[in-house]
């Protein structure tokens, strides 16, 4: 009996309407902005309001905070007030328009997440999004969309997609109507973004009709557009490499920095995978006579376990990668190994990680660290997700359940659960806070440990298949050199200062600080937007300027210098 869901929905609508009415009344002509407002946003650190008066007192502070955020963009107070009121009205409409199927999906997802943080329920729509993320392709028009003040805004056109090839769509266009027929257009203003996306996506070869609102000079133009949907490859989410020319000990060297955002894999026959893409990238790097590689996993939250095993094996001969415990009592662990004897990359290797590198990223980082194959550079440790999930389709096309089925262990015998993979060379990072990581999540599983299962056959002393093994004294030297650079770096000093401020401030929000930092915040947001939605050259330029990427490159150059200093070149020693 799920009747209580309807009752909950009615109560949510009622409360949302009360908040909207209060905001409209509070922001009348007599409203005075209070720049000294302070409040705690963390629900764990503030009591639940005892009555409506207490709730409204908090809402007043929160409205001052919302006004401050608009003023930080140089918006006038009257316009800021209108926007805040519209936001509350949109919230009411969004809750009112929630479908019963979505309510049921949210309930099932909450129930699953009470078992552990990574079990969840996928509705049909969320399952489709998950599959798109894994295979890096969809059928649609090829545009990245966002929701801004009730409008669906085109942020970026996917190169080679229908929208880009047509020349009819531009970044910052507002989509105000969508139709499958030019004579029957649906108004999408104030519509939830996921519902707009659902209307725009469709089978390859079919048409979609859009009404666009485009700003031109001081005025606006309405444009009617017809596009034929195509298969869209999401190249921005795929592995890519940037080459740089550097110097080591006075000699010219070429390095490659591989941005690796996820472990994607299309299970369909002939489908694309992150492992095959990375193999091609490394082949290209070898052809270009690259001397060292950085593999950036710092924003990689995981993905395909099978691809993680294949990718770890690209860097040593063959052998065990990961053990997975069974969900069934009495059954032994399953060992997953790399069986391909080819060493795709044998040279100097640095892995860049952070507190948000998780799951499959931790398998690759932990395995290569245990085999002494790579130097791990980045945040103090990775996320600490050491559990494995399986996606189980539900009957009658009702979606799927993602269920935790076991724990995984890297060759040294450690589970990455809670502890993650500790960096060899630690850098200050924006994610190095106590509230980021598996350990901070409700219902997270306890860590475990098993006997080590490192494979001797992974090591090759010399000749074909020999790869560079990281020596303990090298790690010590790399740490010392990095600490010297980081201590002098203004970029890392800013990151460190922000972390210290956040620790002292906790979850206390000060409106005065929002206004004080507005110019710096706007510049930062503009740069972030350029990095996310700009052209490829601009994205690469902003990416290489990142403090952690730059320092990982420096560590790689130091490692290449150490490699040159050893008399026999590449050499691996058996344990």
Question: Could you list the active site residues?
Answer: 359, 370, 385
Compute the distance between CA of residue 257 and CA of residue 245 in angstroms, rounded to an integer: 11
**Closest to 292 (Cα-Cα) out of 568, 541, 553:** 553
323: three-class secondary structure by DSSP: strand
Please say whether the dihedral angle defined by the alpha carbons of residues 22, 28, 30 and 34, taken in this order, is positive or negative: positive
**Which contacts qualify for 52-56: CB closer than 8 Å, 24 or more apart?**
52/18, 56/22
Contact 184, 191 (CB under 8 A): no
Compute the distance between CA of residue 72 and CA of residue 436 in angstroms, rounded to an integer: 27
Which letter does DSSP use for residue 238 in this model? S
DSSP strand pairing (334-338 vs 349-353): unpaired
Contact 146, 194 (CB under 8 A): no
Compute the distance between CA of residue 63 and CA of residue 14 in angstroms, rounded to an integer: 19
**Closest to 140 (Cα-Cα) out of 128, 127, 151, 126:** 128
Bridge partners of residue 179, in order along the sequence = 209
Compute the distance between CA of residue 201 and CA of residue 141 in angstroms, rounded to an integer: 7
The token duo for 464 is 């074909």
Buried b (16+ CB within 10 A) or exposed e, 184-214: ebeebebbbeebbbebbbbeeeeebbbbbbe
Helix (H) or strand (E) holding 546: none
């Amino acid at each position: 009996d799920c009747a209580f869901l309807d009752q909950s929905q009615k109560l949510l609508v009622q409360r949302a309407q009360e908040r909207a009415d209060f905001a409209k009344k509070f922001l009348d002509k007599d409203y005075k902005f209070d720049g000294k407002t302070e409040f705690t946003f963390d629900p764990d650190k503030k009591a639940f309001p005892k009555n409506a008066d207490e709730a409204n007192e908090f809402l007043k502070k929160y409205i001052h905070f919302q006004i401050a955020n608009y003023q930080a963009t140089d918006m006038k107070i009257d316009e800021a007030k209108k926007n805040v009121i519209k936001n509350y009205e949109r919230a009411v409409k969004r809750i009112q328009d929630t479908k019963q199927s979505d309510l049921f999906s949210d309930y099932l997802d909450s129930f699953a997440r009470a078992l552990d943080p990574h079990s969840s329920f996928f509705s049909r729509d969320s399952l489709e999004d998950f599959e798109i993320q894994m295979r890096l392709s969809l059928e649609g028009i090829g545009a990245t969309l966002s929701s801004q003040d009730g409008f669906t805004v085109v942020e970026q056109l996917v190169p080679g997609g229908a929208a880009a090839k047509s020349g009819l769509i531009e970044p910052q266009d507002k989509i105000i109507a969508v139709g499958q027929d030019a004579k029957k257009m649906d108004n999408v203003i104030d519509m939830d973004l996921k519902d707009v996306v659902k209307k725009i996506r469709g089978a390859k070869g079919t048409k979609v009709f859009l009404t666009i609102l485009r700003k031109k000079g001081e005025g606006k133009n309405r444009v009617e557009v017809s596009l034929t949907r195509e298969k869209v490859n999401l190249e921005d989410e795929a592995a890519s490499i940037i080459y740089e020319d550097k110097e080591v000990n006075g000699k010219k060297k070429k390095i490659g920095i591989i941005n690796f955002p996820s472990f994607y894999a299309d299970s369909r026959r002939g489908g694309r995978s992150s492992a095959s893409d990375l193999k091609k990238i490394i082949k290209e790097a070898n052809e270009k006579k690259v001397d060292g590689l950085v593999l950036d996993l710092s924003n990689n939250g995981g993905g395909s376990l099978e691809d993680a095993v294949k990718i770890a094996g690209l860097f040593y001969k063959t052998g065990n990668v990961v053990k997975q415990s069974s969900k069934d009592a009495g059954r032994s662990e399953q060992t997953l190994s790399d069986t391909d004897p080819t060493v795709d990359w044998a040279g100097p290797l640095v892995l860049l990680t952070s507190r948000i590198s998780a799951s499959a990223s931790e398998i690759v980082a932990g395995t290569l660290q245990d085999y002494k194959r790579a130097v791990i550079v980045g945040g103090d440790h990775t996320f600490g997700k050491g559990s494995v999930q399986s996606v189980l389709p539900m009957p009658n096309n009702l979606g799927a359940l993602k269920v935790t089925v076991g724990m995984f262990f890297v060759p040294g015998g450690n589970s990455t659960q809670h502890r993650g993979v500790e960096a060899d060379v630690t850098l200050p990072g924006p994610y190095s806070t106590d509230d980021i990581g598996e350990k901070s999540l409700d219902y997270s599983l306890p860590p475990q440990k098993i006997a080590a299962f490192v494979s001797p056959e992974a090591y090759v002393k010399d000749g074909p298949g020999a790869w560079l093994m990281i020596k303990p004294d090298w790690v010590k030297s790399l740490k010392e050199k990095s600490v010297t650079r980081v201590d002098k770096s203004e970029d890392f000093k800013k990151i460190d200062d922000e972390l210290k401020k956040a620790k002292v401030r906790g979850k206390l929000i000060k409106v005065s600080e929002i206004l004080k930092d507005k110019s710096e915040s706007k510049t930062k947001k503009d740069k972030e937007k350029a990095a996310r939605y700009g052209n490829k050259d601009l994205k690469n330029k902003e990416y290489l300027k990142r403090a952690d990427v730059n320092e990982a490159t420096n560590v790689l150059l130091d490692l290449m210098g150490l490699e040159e200093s050893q008399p026999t070149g590449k050499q691996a020693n058996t344990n």
